[in-house]
A and B are shown apart, each in its own frame.
Chain A
Amino acid sequence: MRKMTTIIIEGRLTGFILLFSFMIIVALIVYRTRSTGKLPWLRRIAAIDAIEDAVGRAVEMGKPVICGFGRARSFDSATLAGLSTLSYVAEFTATMGADLIVPLGGGDMGTAGPVTVPIAEELVRTAYTSKGKEEDFKKVEMPYLSDESFCVSTSVVAMLQKLRPGAHVFIGQYYAETMFLAEVSRAVGAISIAGSSGVSGNVACLAVACDYIVIGEEVPAIGAYLSGDPTQRGSIFAQDIIKIITLILIFFGYIAFSFGNDFFSKLISL
């Protein structure tokens, strides 16, 4: 029988232990929250709370709402967050009677690509059905614009300039096109609510040009935040515990390394 260290690929043992410890912590807290049913306190995410007001404003102005979820090259955290937000926005547009436009495409031959078309349609349809507005779903425009991301962003910019929407919600995989979308949204007077994955998603550009943004760890947490379900919210609480553990490890690693001890660097490379 092989030893544990030979089964695990060299250099990945610590990562394996840490990842599975973190996953166990999340699962345990999720099930604990489920059994107690207590809703953990979460700080408000202004961008998500502003969605209702933004849709309401669009209705008052008689203008549509544009809601995209990015390039969707893959089903990463940003795409999932975008899809969760789309479902949430669709519930408001269904209730308030706003016109909803969902631009699709831009996958650049990624693994998700057009697969997200039926997923987005199903999410919006369910949102309208759950609000008893099945008939209004037919009015929702969900055009597939292109697989090329720049073609999609150009089309969305054209939509923004032509329709002058009351609100533009775009949370998902956005890269270079963030500046077009954010700046044109501002120019046409739409409330812009945006979010993108990590730092590579031009978060700084979004912060500069948008009215509200979702940043960093908030993006993957959107689904749980919107659910209002204690079980899912428990996972966000678990995140904070893991963050504290990580900070402690970083602190001790920093101290040890500063005094010439390479214990932590050896530990990481195990």
Chain B
Amino acid sequence: MMSFIKSKGFSVALVFLTSSFMILTYFIDVPGATQISSDLMVWASLIMAFSMPLGIVNMISRYGNKVYTKKRNYGFSIMLLVLLAMTLASGIILGDTSSIYTFFMESFVWPLGATMYSILAFYMMSANFVAMRMRNWKAILLVLAGIFVLLTTMPAGSSIPGLTVIGDWLKNIHSVSVTRGVVIGTAISTIALGVRTMLGFETSALGISRGRESKE
């Protein structure tokens, strides 16, 4: 029985049935079907919640091993494990609205996340420096387009006659048309990917790689 459940055929059949159902309920108005499809979405969230211990076990095993073998800088691993245990305990025992849990989130996680986000500006600047080197005519066009768009978005830029027109023309005509082209191409490619997945050709989401597939 277990070997049947673990088989590729069963997994593919399950994928085919659920995905067909989800697609059809988007288009077809069948009483009760919408409720079932939203229930299936809730199932997906529940499975995700149940899978969270996988991540926690992975972390404890990895960093616990670092501490046990006293690898270089293992003090950081101790700190991570202690903070993990404290956050977990405060969240489970006191709830995610408790002052201790929110202290951890508001004092550590969110400020650090915001710090990383703000550092992005410097990385963008260094990437721009690389991109804006005028090596050929394409790069020159890129630099010119960049300058126009940059000036358009600046308050002082709007005072220069005609600049806003060029900047908006670049953004609304060229940028939008290229974006739409990419989106249409990606959408069509995703339909083909969906068909491959439903028919059982694309099996990476099931954890089946080409090696095992060829053996089966």
CB-defined contacts of B41 to chain A, threshold 8 Å: 111
- CB A155 to nearest CB in B, in angstroms, measures 10
CB-defined contacts of A226 to chain B, threshold 8 Å: 210
Contact with A along B100-117 (1 / 0, CB 8 A): 000000000100110011
Does B193 interact with chain A (Cβ within 8 Å)? yes
Flag if A235 contacts B201 (CB, 8 Å): yes
Flag if A220 contacts B192 (CB, 8 Å): yes
CA of A153 to CA of B113 in the docked complex: distance in angstroms? 10
CB-defined contacts of B45 to chain A, threshold 8 Å: 111
Task: How many A-B residue pairs have C-beta atoms within 8 angstroms? Tell me.
Answer: 232
Taking chain B's interface residues, is the majority helix, strand, or loop, or is none over half, making it mixed?
helix
Flag if B202 contacts A119 (CB, 8 Å): no
Flag if B191 contacts A198 (CB, 8 Å): no
B-contacting 9-mer, from A38-46, A55-63, A236-244, A261-269: A236-244
How many of chain B's residues have a CB under 8 angstroms from any CB in A?
64
Choose among A84, A122, A227, A243 the residue that contacts B185 (Cβ–Cβ < 8 A): A243
Write the chain B residue with the least CB distance to A149.
B113
A-contacting 9-mer, from B47-55, B154-162, B166-174: B47-55
Does B183 interact with chain A (Cβ within 8 Å)? yes
Taking chain A's interface residues, is the majority helix, strand, or loop, or is none over half, making it mixed?
helix
B residues sitting closer than 8 Å to A (CB atoms) are 23, 26-30, 41, 44-45, 47-48, 51-52, 54-56, 58-59, 62, 109, 112-113, 116-117, 119-120, 123-124, 126-128, 130-131, 179, 181-186, 188-197, 199, 201-202, 204-212, 214-215
Can you name 16 extra interface pairs (CB under 8 A) apart from A117-B51, A123-B208, A219-B186?
A16-B28, A26-B196, A80-B204, A83-B205, A109-B48, A115-B54, A118-B207, A122-B207, A129-B211, A151-B112, A184-B123, A198-B183, A215-B182, A217-B182, A223-B196, A226-B210
